[in-house]
Amino acid sequence: MSANIQEAADAAIEPVSFVKVPALEPPTSLQQMIHDWQLIKHREGGYFKETDRSPLTMGLEKPQDGDSTDSVTVTRNQSTLIYYLLTPDSPIGKFHKNINRITHILQRGKGQYVLVYPDGQVKSFRVGFDYKKGEVSQWVVPGGVFKASFLVPNEEFDNGLLISEVVVPGFDFEDHTFMKGEDELKSLVGPERAAELAFLV
Ligand code: GUN
């Protein structure tokens, strides 16, 4: 029982059939929600909608590329908020990282997260409201940590997972990086774990 992912129960990574082979369409109830809320397909998988972007701005200090120890200060909105939905037809959020920490809040359903830290440590935990089974309903992913997610079957939300994500400073593609294929995963976690996690790249 934990509110902190470092202490959250470790979950075995066992994707069910519709995660390995996605369904052709979302169930009707989730299709209705996608339509009503005008969610759109996300490049990392799943559906999303940005529901708030702070009109206020702030400076974000970013390290320069390459070996330089210099940094540059860029301007960002102070925060952003999204809904993010996984469905049986789009059941995986593929590995990516952001330089900023991201706060996640569960709304409905169940899923599983897999984090890969820069030192190669892997952390996987279930998200849901059954905290007695080790599920968590709020989780914060630190900046610089690769994150992937996949659906866990559930009756209460027609096999969906709906969360909210808050990023401070606000989301900008310049701060976001997709994992560069299985080779990058292998270089972080070694060949055996990479084979187990390859479905998330
Ligand atoms: N645009 C594309 N992806 C994202 C995201 O993850 N968050 C926000 N706020 N906007 C996006």
Q: What is the pLDDT of residues 142-196, one digit of tens each?
A: 999 999 999 999 999 999 999 999 999 999 999 999 999 999 999 999 999 999 9
CA-CA distance, 163 to 106, in Å (whole number)? 4
Q: What element of type H or E holds 123?
A: strand 122-127
The protein residue with its alpha carbon nearest to ligand 1, atom 8, reads: 171
What DSSP designation does 87 have?
Answer: B
85 CB near ligand 1 (under 6 Å): no
52 CB near ligand 1 (under 6 Å): no
Atom of ligand 1 nearest to the CA of 53: 9
Q: How far is the CA of 78 from the centre of ligand 1 (A)?
A: 14
Amino acid at 8: A
Q: What would the pLDDT profile of 99-147 be if each residue is shown by its tens digit?
A: 999 999 999 999 999 999 999 999 999 999 999 999 999 999 999 999 9
Mean pLDDT of the 41-53 span: 98
Residues 6 or more apart whose CB falls under 8 angstroms from that of 138 comprise 3, 103, 104, 105, 106
Pocket test of ligand 1: the residue of 51, 79, 81, 82 to mutate, having most ligand atoms within 8 Å of its CB, is 82
Half-sphere exposure at residue 4, Cβ-oriented, CA atoms within 13 angstroms: 2
pLDDT at 88: 98
Q: Is the pTM of this model over 0.90?
A: yes
pLDDT at 3: 63
Pairing label, strands 161-167, 71-77: unpaired
- Radius of gyration of the chain measured on its C-alpha atoms: 17
pLDDT at 169: 98
Q: How far is the CA of 56 from the centre of ligand 1 (A)?
A: 17
CA-CA distance, 95 to 188, in Å (whole number)? 12
Mean pLDDT of the 2-21 span: 85
- When pLDDT is cut at 50, 70 and 90, the band that residue 8 belongs to is confident
DSSP three-state, residue 106: strand
Pocket test of ligand 1: the residue of 47, 50, 81, 101 to mutate, having most ligand atoms within 8 Å of its CB, is 50
Please provide the average confidence, as pLDDT, over all residues in the chain. Answer: 95
**Is 72 a residue whose pLDDT tops 60?**
yes
Domains and CATH numbers, the chain: 3-54+79-200 (2.60.120.10)
Tell me what ipTM this predicted complex has: 0.90
* Residue 197 token pair: 């996690």
**Is 1 a residue whose pLDDT tops 60?**
no
